[in-house]
């Protein structure tokens, strides 16, 4: 980028001035820049799609492919030959990059696998907290404005490291590729050993995974899954919300977002570049700067004016940076800045301050935290080894990014012998009487008659 060329400041990057205000946590959360929620608006349409897939199966899927993707579809599953061909034709540099991402993501995912815990409460009273992988998962990889082979890596690798035996992947059919998903998506799936891939997009893919699809004359059955993961648009997110409880989900991921906490030591060029990088995803993406330095805010606006004009997807970026979900939040200092970060609970939080590592350690709510000048969000998107499927829209306050435990569940195993049960039998009887559930106590007492 040519930082010496003149450019008008990006004045449509709005300012929220919180200086001198002492806001409660609820007031602070309400002051955060957010895109308008559209889940409710999409709910009826998505519910109808789910019902259609459940009742009409592959007939509904092929009609929806024509309606939404402009594709005449007969077989929904991607042929093995198409997966092989996609990998054979993959650009060697892209393959090498994917292999790097896979290797690093696998190392980190493997380290996340929790150990079983066994404890002897008393002699003869043994409890075990046992981690078991789910049997089958459905992984969704979006299409739309960009191609996301990196999302194949981020979804597949932790599921594999969790020990999931059956993995299926869905991605929207593309008219320009003969009704198949993008070949780079197919190549990434093949590289990871995934051979069950479906050319299905949107809410209909989530419905197919959640409820399964019976076989017809042209298609083998799609078996239902235990967990559905992966990012997508508002229709995908709404579908995941509606099937939650039928299957497990990772999160209801909405448009991407970045918050940068920066002080006067930050480099405005880097801050602006990172804000632009996330705005590139989606016109609804959120890019937010938090700082106590008006001077830095001004320099970042100047850099945005220059960098937005020069970037490939300039119009998309401009729309995102001008939206209600983006802007500068001015704060009194670092303490208020950290409070803002916790209230926003960013999907991606960058710390570009003096002593960035210590500041990052104080943050309580974020999907992922990127520390210092050399840990940009782009690193996490591809090759850090961390996972880029992260909670958005403030849900990082109570949920986590995709990880190995997303694909596992814990079973409690209770193993008492006669003496250990007898030791607490009177307590069980007393509590069962207090709760007016005497048969509970009788089920213990009968063992000692």
| 120 included as an active-site residue | no
Which of these is catalytic: 302, 348, 350, 388?
A: 348
Q: What is the 3-state secondary structure (H, E, C) of the chain?
A: CCCCCCCCCCCCCCEEECCCCCCCHHHHHHCCCCCCCCHHHHHHHHHHHHHHHHHHHHHHHHHHHHHHHCCCCCCCECCHHHHHHHHHCCCHHHHHHHHHHHHHHHHHHHHHCCCCEEEEEECCEEEEEEEEECCEEEEECCCCCCCCHHHHHHHHHHHHHHCCCEEEEEECCEHHHCCECCHHHHHHHHHCCCCCEEECCHHHHHHHHHHCECCCCCCCCECCCCEEECCCCHHHHHHHHHHECCEEECCCCCCCEEEEEECCCCCHHHHHHHHHHHHCCCCCCEEEEEECCHHHHHHHHHHHHHHHHHCCCHHHHHHHHHCCCCEEEECCCHHHHHHHHHHHCCCEEEEECCCHHHHHHHCCCCCEEEECCCCCHHHHHHCCCCCCCCCCCCHHHCCCCCCHHHHEEEEEEEEECHHHHHHHHHHHHHHHHHCCCHHHHHHHHHHHC
Which of these is catalytic: 347, 422, 435, 440?
A: 347
| 422 included as an active-site residue | no
* Residues carrying an active site annotation: 347-348
């Amino acid at each position: 980028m040519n930082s010496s060329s003149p450019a008008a400041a990006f004045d449509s990057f709005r300012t929220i001035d919180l200086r001198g205000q002492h806001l409660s946590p609820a007031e602070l959360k309400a002051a955060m820049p957010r895109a308008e929620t559209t889940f409710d608006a999409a709910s009826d349409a998505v519910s109808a799609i789910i019902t259609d897939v459940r009742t009409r199966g592959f007939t509904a899927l092929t009609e929806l492919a024509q309606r939404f993707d402009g594709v005449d579809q007969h077989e929904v599953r991607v042929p093995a030959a198409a997966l092989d061909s996609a990998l054979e034709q993959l650009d060697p540099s892209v393959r090498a990059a994917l292999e790097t991402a896979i290797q690093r993501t696998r190392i980190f995912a493997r380290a996340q696998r929790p150990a079983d815990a066994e404890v002897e409460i008393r002699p003869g009273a043994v409890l075990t907290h046992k981690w078991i992988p789910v049997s089958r998962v459905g992984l969704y990889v979006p299409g739309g404005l960009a191609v996301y082979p990196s999302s194949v890596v981020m979804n597949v690798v932790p599921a594999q490291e969790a020990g999931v035996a059956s993995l299926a992947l869905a991605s929207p059919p593309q008219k320009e590729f003969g009704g198949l998903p993008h070949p780079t998506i197919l190549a990434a799936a093949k590289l990871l050993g995934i051979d069950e891939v479906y050319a299905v997009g949107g809410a209909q893919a989530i419905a197919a995974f959640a409820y399964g699809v019976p076989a017809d004359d042209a298609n083998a059955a799609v078996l239902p899954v235990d967990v559905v993961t992966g990012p997508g648009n508002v229709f995908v997110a709404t579908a995941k919300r509606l099937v939650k409880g039928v299957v497990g989900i990772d999160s209801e991921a909405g448009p991407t977002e970045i918050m940068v906490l920066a002080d006067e030591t930050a480099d405005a060029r880097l801050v602006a570049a990172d804000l632009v990088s996330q705005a590139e995803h989606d016109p609804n993406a959120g890019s937010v700067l938090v700082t106590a330095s008006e001077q830095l805010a001004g320099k970042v606006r100047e850099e945005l004016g220059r960098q937005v004009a020069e970037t490939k997807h300039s119009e998309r970026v401009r729309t995102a940076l001008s939206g209600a979900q983006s802007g500068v939040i001015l704060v009194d200092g670092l303490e208020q800045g950290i409070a803002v970060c916790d209230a926003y609970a960013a999907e991606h939080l960058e710390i570009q301050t003096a002593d960035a590592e210590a500041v990052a350690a104080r943050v309580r709510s974020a999907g992922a935290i990127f520390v210092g000048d050399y840990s940009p969000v782009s690193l996490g998107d591809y090759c850090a080894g961390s996972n880029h499927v992260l909670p958005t829209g403030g849900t990082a306050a109570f949920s986590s990014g995709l990880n190995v435990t997303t694909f596992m569940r814990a079973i409690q195993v209770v193993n008492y012998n006669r003496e250990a049960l007898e030791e607490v039998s009177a307590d069980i009887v007393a509590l069962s009487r207090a709760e007016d559930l005497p048969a509970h106590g009788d089920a213990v007492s009968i063992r000692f008659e």
